[in-house]
Amino acid sequence: MHLTPSPSTMAPRDALGCTASTLVHDDELDAGGVRVYRKAVTMTELGPVETAPSDRGLLLGISLAPGHRRRIVHARHASTHDFGCGAIYLRDFGERYRADMKTGFDFLLVEFPQAVLRQTTERPLALGELLAASPVGAHDAVLHHLALALLPALGRPQPGCGLFVEQVTAAMAAQLLLRAGASQPAGTRARRRLSPRQEARAKEMLSMRVDGDQSAQAVAEACGLSRSYFIEAFRETTGQTPYQWVQAQRLARAQALLAQPGLSLAAIALACGFADQSHFTRVFTRHMGMPPGTWRRSAGH
């Protein structure tokens, strides 16, 4: 006789239905209402991942390692899938999900609320269209590279990384829509630009949080735009993404503070919104071609 475990005896599960105690990577962050996770386990027989139906939207999973196998249990049948590195899957939170994990896995996962997906496309789009365009286990090099770009932000979140994460997840949503034929390639689409008033408002808001972390979603709403439209229009208007523009403002402020001999590099790093002196030195060197201390001496300060 088969006995179903009672809720009190079942191992605790996380928001994605994973058994929390088995995870060797369990990272999570929120950026503009989009949640990004990294979930990984090394065990070979893992049991099921389960979630009840909800209105949370759509989950994109991108495999960061080869060799994962899972058996997905549908309403009237089951299917087994193998995942290579860069393989993807989409999961509609509106449907009950159960998958038996046959091997260990390492996935970056992005939870898109339905409102975010609706804002990204220019025509009404059913989740079924997105699911059909990206079958389980399909490989997508663009999404894989974008996932890799997010790993440092997940592993060690730093001040200002929220804008970068929003920018990358907006590109992921656009790629999903492109797979479904719901978005035109950038080269064939009319150029989007901010009005002078929108540009001024956006820069004002971004400047207010140069030493912290402004949300692209909040700035987009203040400009009366969707997040994806705002990010693209800001880039077309200024030649930089919002994240690049804020980074440039931080570096300009750092240069001004470096002209003050009494300020330490650690104090300047803190004043300009960097995580610490090491983070400040890495970013400054990458953009300016020399460490901040060397730049200060070469400028005669």
Question: Of 1.10.10.10, 2.60.120.280, 3.40.50.300, 2.40.30.10, which CATH number belongs to 20-178?
Answer: 2.60.120.280
Q: What is the pLDDT of residue 148?
A: 95
pTM: predicted TM-score of the whole model, two decimal places = 0.80
Q: Where in the chain is the domain with CATH 1.10.10.60?
A: 250-298
Q: What is the pLDDT of residue 182?
A: 66
What CATH code would you report for 191-244?
1.10.10
Q: Where in the chain is the domain with CATH 2.60.120.280?
A: 20-178
Q: What is the pLDDT of residue 6?
A: 43
Mean pLDDT by 10 residues, the chain (301 residues): 44 79 86 90 77 92 95 90 95 92 93 82 70 90 95 78 89 88 57 90 87 82 91 93 90 91 90 87 91 86 63
State how far Cα 158 lies from the chain centre: 14
Contacts of 22-29 with CB under 8 Å at 24 or more apart are 22/46, 25/106, 27/154, 27/155, 28/154, 29/153, 29/154, 29/157, 29/165
What CATH code would you report for 250-298?
1.10.10.60
Q: What is the pLDDT of residue 74?
A: 86
Q: What is the pLDDT of residue 242?
A: 92
Q: Where are any strands of DSSP class E within 139-291?
A: none
C-alpha 22/C-alpha 27 separation (Å) is: 13
Q: What is the pLDDT of residue 7?
A: 43
At 19 the three-state DSSP class reads: strand
